[in-house]
Structure 1
Amino acid sequence: MKELEERIAQEGRIIDGRIIKVDGFLNHRIDTKLLNRMGKEFYRLFGDLGVTKILTAEASGIAVAVIAAQYFDVPVVFAKKAKSDNIEGGLYASEIYSYTYNRKVTFLVSKQWLGAEDRVLIIDDFLANGEALRGLIDIVDMAGAQLMGVGVAVEKGFQEGGKRLRERGINLQSLAIIEGVEDGKFRFRQA
């Protein structure tokens, strides 16, 4: 998505050669008009697949998923990172390693909100090593649901997550894929 690439090029920063910082428009302060256009693009890519639920991870994936969900006219379920007293019944749980927080995290989804009848689209803001997406895919599998695809706003193409998912035959669509940074400028994968 050219507009997203342009915003990353204009406002994004890279920290320590591995952290892509786009918090000015994607995951801290949110440009809702841009996210709205991203939601339309996800619908263009996945809208004919009969999606019944969108699944994402707490917290920064929620905004992208919710805006996209309005085009699919389906609910969003997000995997929580901590059990709260208001979660009733059984849980699907998948442990992942969070590179953002530098620790293990357990994704939790109530069995009440995801089941075998669902056709699930996973949407998230970032894909790097693929740990978060692995955990979400585990939850889809535990529910007996059908994974229809994975939509990602920004993929770090210089890390292995996207490659591994594509090798598994997963329908992965990333709106912007960063191949690397040269002389302080982002280099994007061309379609």
Structure 2
Amino acid sequence: MEALISRIKRDGTVLGDDILKVDSFLTHQVDPKLMRQIGKMFAQKFADSGITKVVTIEASGNVPAAYVAEELNIPMIFAKKAKNVTMNDELLTAEVYSFTKKITSTVQISRKFLSENDKVLIIDDFLANGQAALGLINILKEAGAQIAGVGIVIEKSFQTGRALVEETGIPVVSLARIAGFEQGQVVFAEADL
């Protein structure tokens, strides 16, 4: 997706050997026009897949996931990282380690929002080591839902996440794929869309 790649080149900042900071348009401040384009791209890709729900993990995945759900005219669910007093239903949970934040979170979705009748598309902002996607896959399998695919805004292809997700038999579709970082610059691999 050329608009996304151009934005990464212009506004992304490489930190160290394995972190890309994109807080000016995706992970903190959000560019809604770009997110709408991202939503349309994923919606077009999965339009004929019978998707009934879009699922993500809070927080940075929420915006692209919401735009995908809007385009498909279906609900979007985000797995919460902290339980609150209103979450008194039976919960589906998974432990997810964040390599960027260096913490493990218990992510949770109320069972009442997922069933064996659902066909789900997972959407997330980044795919690096695959832990967020695998956590969501485990939750969805526990609910008995089918999983149509995992849609990723930015994939760090030099890390293990894609291979781990594909080992589950679930396809990964990434809009921007990063082969690595060289001298503070992003080196791109061919994207899936």
Q: TM-score range by the shorter chain?
A: over 0.9
Match of 1:45 in 2: 45
Match of 2:143 in 1: 143
CA distance in 1, matches of 2:100, 2:71: 30
Structure 2 counterpart of 1:136, one-letter code? L
Structure 2: 5+ residue stretches without partners: none
How many pairs are equivalent? 191
Match of 2:105 in 1: 105
Name the % identity.
45
CA distance in 1, matches of 2:190, 2:76: 30
Deviations 1:52-101 (A, max 9, x none): 00000011100110011111100011100111001122000111211122
What is the Cα deviation at residue 103 of structure 1? Answer: 1.6
Cα RMSD for the two superposed structures: 1.0
Q: Scaled by the length of structure 2, what TM-score is found?
A: 0.96
Q: Secondary structure at the match of 1:27?
A: coil
Decide whether the 8 Å contact of 2:15 with 2:184 is kept in 1.
no
Matches within 5 A, 1:62-141: 62-141=62-141
- Bigger helix share: 1
CA distance in 2, matches of 1:144, 1:124: 21
Query: Given the superposition, is the C-alpha separation of residues 7 and 83 from structure 1 closer, same or farther in structure 2, using an over 3 Å criterion?
Result: same
Structure 1 counterpart of 2:185, one-letter code? K
Q: Secondary structure at the match of 2:36?
A: helix
CA distance in 2, matches of 1:79, 1:134: 13
What is the Cα deviation at residue 183 of structure 1? Answer: 2.7
Structure 1: 5+ residue stretches without partners: none
CA distance in 2, matches of 1:134, 1:59: 17
Q: Scaled by the length of structure 1, what TM-score is found?
A: 0.97
CA distance in 1, matches of 2:41, 2:78: 21
User: Where in structure 1 do 4 or more consecutive aligned residues deviate above 2 Å?
Assistant: 166-169
Q: Secondary structure at the match of 1:137?
A: helix
**Does residue 168 of structure 1 match 2:189?**
no
